[in-house]
Structure 1
Amino acid sequence: MRIDISLLPALAASFMLVFARIGAMVMLLPGFGEVNIPVRIRLGIALMLTMILLPLHRAAYTVDMNSMAPLMVMMVHEIIIGVVLGATARVTLSALQVAGSVIAQQLGLGFVTSIDPTQGQQGALIGNFLTILGLTLLFATDMHHLVIAALNDSYNVFAPGQLLPSGDVASLFTRAFTTAFKIGIQLAAPFIVFGLVFNLGLGILARLMPQMQVYFVGVPLSILGGFMILAVIIATMMGTFMDYFGGVLHELAPG
């Protein structure tokens, strides 16, 4: 019996091209690409997704094994596509960090920081809490399945071997950044109103009672009132964010 292995080099090249797109995306995805997740686990997730998606899109890759230059160009192309998809999802999650930073400033907790597990650097404590809560809800509601769907549908939007539409990519990034900032401010809007009204009231009180230590009275009341508002509206806040995140993923996966 004779086994034909002539297709193995082309199959291996296609596997590496698919892995380049998926691996670049997984390294940036919220929940999968965090710095505190071991690299081996992230690599295992990327390899598993590659083995799942390779049979579906193997025919989309036309690999010329006689020259390395086209293969390397396609490799860079696939990495860029993966970075675009992963970075879009990562920027979308940053809306919670924006909201948390604004809330912390309004409550007088802007100086209270801790390590943000999603970025590996210092961040506002409330922002870190909202980010972790958002990640938990993403997995609890199975919305991470939309991420895999977006990765699968990316082959319809960004076909292998075709020139990357730089205008569409720039528009996607610009829209992602502006929308994340807008949603972050909208989520923190009740606290902005609270901070404005509360500080205005403290200013009037300071003028009416100059002998009163307004700072020592105002800071504890500001923190207490802010946490009471957070407890009341946090469900609505996270629901709004989940709708926003789902909309972004549906835009990435129009199919």
Structure 2
Amino acid sequence: MRIDISWLPALAAAFMLVFARVAAMVMLLPALGEQNIPVRIKLAAAVLLTLIILPLHQRDFHIDMQSLSSLIVLMVQEILIGIVLGATARVTMSALQVAGSIIAQQMGLGFVTSVDPTQGEQGLLVGNFLTMLGVTLLFATDSHHLLIAALNDSYKIFAPGEAIATGDIASLATQAFAAAFRLGLQLAAPFLVFGLVFNIGLGVLARLMPQMQVYFVGVPLSILAGFLIFALVLTALMGTFLAYFDGVVHQMLSLK
């Protein structure tokens, strides 16, 4: 009895190509791609997603096992596509860091820093809080399923073996960075208004009462009023961010 295993090399090559796209995306995703997440967990998630995606798109790969150069080109293309998907999702989270930095400065907490678990480096406390809250809400609202759907649909947009639309990708990257910075400013807009009005009020008070130590009075009041405003606008702030995240993912799926 003979068993035909001639299909195994092509299957193994297709698995590695799918794994290249998935792993490159997973390594950059919010929550999964953080530095404090063990590499084994990242690899396990990438392998699991690969086993799910491979049967759906195995026929999309036209692999010439006799040509090593074509396999290398396909591998590089798959890695680049995965990086684009993961980096775009990562950039969306930077909007919360921008908003947190502005809010902290307006509240008088610009000097309070802690280790940002999503970046592995020092960051402002308010920005770290917003980032962790944003990641939590992404999973709580099942928005991370959109990323898995984007990964699946990416094989329709970036078909294996086709030339990558570099112009569209560059446009997407530029728009993602600009939109993240713009959204950060929009999320922090109430605190920009508060900081302007509060500092003008302190300036007027200093002119009216020169003997008064405005700094020692203004800083506690700024922190107290800032936290009150923060509590009032936090729900709307995070709702706006989730809507923005969903919009970015849908924009990734409409490159063509």
Q: TM-score range by the shorter chain?
A: over 0.9
Q: d(CA) in 2 for partners of 1:240 and 1:121? A: 26
Contact kept in structure 2, 1:149 and 1:253, CA below 8 Å:
no
Contact kept in structure 1, 2:22 and 2:46, CA below 8 Å:
yes
Q: d(CA) in 1 for partners of 2:205 and 2:224? A: 18
Q: 2:40 corresponds to which residue?
A: 40
Q: Any runs of at least 4 consecutive aligned residues in structure 1 with deviations exceeding 4 A, and if so which?
A: none
- SS of the residue aligned with 1:115? strand
1:212-231 equivalences under 5 Å are 212-231=212-231
Q: d(CA) in 2 for partners of 1:223 and 1:152? A: 46
Counterpart residue type for residue 69 of structure 1: S
Q: d(CA) in 2 for partners of 1:88 and 1:64? A: 31
- SS of the residue aligned with 1:212? coil
Instruction: Using the aligned pairs only, state the percent identity.
Output: 70
Q: 1:3 corresponds to which residue?
A: 3
Q: 1:124 corresponds to which residue?
A: 124
Tell whether 2:106 aligns with 1:102: no
- SS of the residue aligned with 1:32? coil
Q: 2:195 corresponds to which residue?
A: 195
Q: 1:15 corresponds to which residue?
A: 15
Q: 1:134 corresponds to which residue?
A: 134
Q: d(CA) in 2 for partners of 1:48 and 1:250? A: 24
- Once the two structures are TM-superposed, the CA of residue 254 in structure 1 deviates from its matched residue by 5.0
Given the two structures, how large is their TM-score scaled by the length of structure 1? 0.98
- Once the two structures are TM-superposed, the CA of residue 111 in structure 1 deviates from its matched residue by 1.1
Q: 1:176 corresponds to which residue?
A: 176
Q: d(CA) in 2 for partners of 1:230 and 1:69? A: 56
Q: 1:244 corresponds to which residue?
A: 244
Cα offsets for 1:199-244 (capped at 9, x unmatched): 0000000000000000000000000000000001100000000111
- SS of the residue aligned with 1:33? coil
Cα offsets for 1:149-193 (capped at 9, x unmatched): 000000111111111111001000000000000111000000000
Q: d(CA) in 2 for partners of 1:188 and 1:159? A: 40
Given the two structures, how large is their TM-score scaled by the length of structure 2? 0.98
Structure 2 stretches lacking a partner, 5+ long:
none
Q: d(CA) in 2 for partners of 1:197 and 1:169? A: 42
Cα offsets for 1:22-56 (capped at 9, x unmatched): 00000000111111111000100000000000011
- SS of the residue aligned with 1:222? helix
Counterpart residue type for residue 200 of structure 1: I
Structure 1 stretches lacking a partner, 5+ long:
none
- Once the two structures are TM-superposed, the CA of residue 67 in structure 1 deviates from its matched residue by 1.7
Counterpart residue type for residue 150 of structure 2: A
Q: d(CA) in 1 for partners of 2:2 and 2:117? A: 54
Q: d(CA) in 1 for partners of 2:234 and 2:48? A: 36
- SS of the residue aligned with 2:123? strand
Counterpart residue type for residue 167 of structure 1: G
Greater CA drift, 104-113 or 78-87: 104-113
Contact kept in structure 1, 2:91 and 2:177, CA below 8 Å:
yes
Counterpart residue type for residue 4 of structure 1: D
- Once the two structures are TM-superposed, the CA of residue 108 in structure 1 deviates from its matched residue by 1.1
